[in-house]
Amino acid sequence: MLSQRWLRLMPLHLMLLPALALLLIYSYGPITGILIAFQNFMPSKGIFGSPFIGLDNFKYVWDLPDTRQVLTNTVVIAFFKIILNLAVPILLALLLNEVRIKLFKRSVQTIVYLPYFLSWVLLGGILIDILSPSQGIVNDIIKSFGFKPLFFLGDPNWFRFTIVATDLWKEVGFNTIVFLAAVTNANPSLYEAAVIDGANRWKQTLNITLPSMLPVIILLATLSLGNVLNAGFDQIFNLYSPQVYSTGDILDTFVYRIGLIDTQYGVATAVGLFKSIISCLFISVSYFLAYRLANYRIF
């Protein structure tokens, strides 16, 4: 009996084997690799031969003049992205919900959704072209109104704005569609009752449509908490330059430069570990809140 049960369960273990092996090597391997953060890592000696130096890498980074600025940049950019990527799609979903012409509604959705599917390499290439102060079309328009051209990607005062705005351009379609799906969840009989009670569209939106979206809003809001330190490596890496490090350099780009350009492996791993630990806390809290507030379970 026991062996028969074993035979029956064997395939289940076998099915998991390839994924487990890959995770063990390529996800848990790097997790073991965080030992490098506590070492004066030398590639020639490897992870088992390099000397351990305790928390020296962390102390070193903390004393660097740039570190606190990088941390501030990361949190500020991520914060504005989180807020706008929730607020604007909610507004858009509500406005699209008022559109009665199906073709128009679908066209707007499809157009707004397009940048979401393109890489930051392509979008970066497009933005570098259109935002160029000398030949970009955006500055041509600004100049035609008699203003001076703006260095959207080269001026530290404009860089964060450009990053948050262009991120919105890429991401807005995704959440809009999720919220729009939530809008259609509202019970039609509620609207009929509201019309009989004399509620106008504005009242209906406020008292029926928005509350029916609330579970999804809460869910996406709590889940986005996990992104407080994700300011968007792909985007910033493709758009920044040394002139805007003061407002645009973030943890991930900082790690990249320390680690892969300056080859200070130990220091870069220490910064990465710091980010991983904080992110892990935030993601755990966000899942817990999503579970408590929106009844969301990961598995």
Residue matched to tokens 């501030």: 72
| CB count in 10 Å sphere of residue 286 | 19
CB 190, min distance to other proteins, A: 11
Half-sphere exposure at residue 25, Cβ-oriented, CA atoms within 13 angstroms: 5
CB 288, min distance to other proteins, A: 12
User: In this complex, which beta carbon is closest to other proteins, that of residue 83 or of residue 126?
Assistant: 126
Residue matched to tokens 């305790």: 54
Give kind and range of the element (H or E) at residue 240. Answer: none
User: In this complex, which beta carbon is closest to other proteins, that of residue 18 or of residue 242?
Assistant: 18
287 alpha carbon, distance to own chain's centre: 16
User: In this complex, which beta carbon is closest to other proteins, that of residue 166 or of residue 247?
Assistant: 166
CB 188, min distance to other proteins, A: 8
C-alpha 151/C-alpha 62 separation (Å) is 31
User: In this complex, which beta carbon is closest to other proteins, that of residue 17 or of residue 54?
Assistant: 17
User: In this complex, which beta carbon is closest to other proteins, that of residue 92 or of residue 150?
Assistant: 92
CB 75 within 8 A of CB 229: yes
User: In this complex, which beta carbon is closest to other proteins, that of residue 145 or of residue 299?
Assistant: 299
CB 94, min distance to other proteins, A: 10
User: In this complex, which beta carbon is closest to other proteins, that of residue 109 or of residue 246?
Assistant: 109
| CB count in 10 Å sphere of residue 216 | 19
CB 72, min distance to other proteins, A: 20
* Residue 202: φ, ψ to 5°: -60, -45
CB 206, min distance to other proteins, A: 14
CB 159, min distance to other proteins, A: 16
Which has the closest alpha carbon to 234: 83, 85, 123, 101? 123
Three-state DSSP class for 52?
strand
Which has the closest alpha carbon to 276: 31, 21, 108? 31
How would DSSP label each residue in 60-75?
HHHHSHHHHHHHHHHH
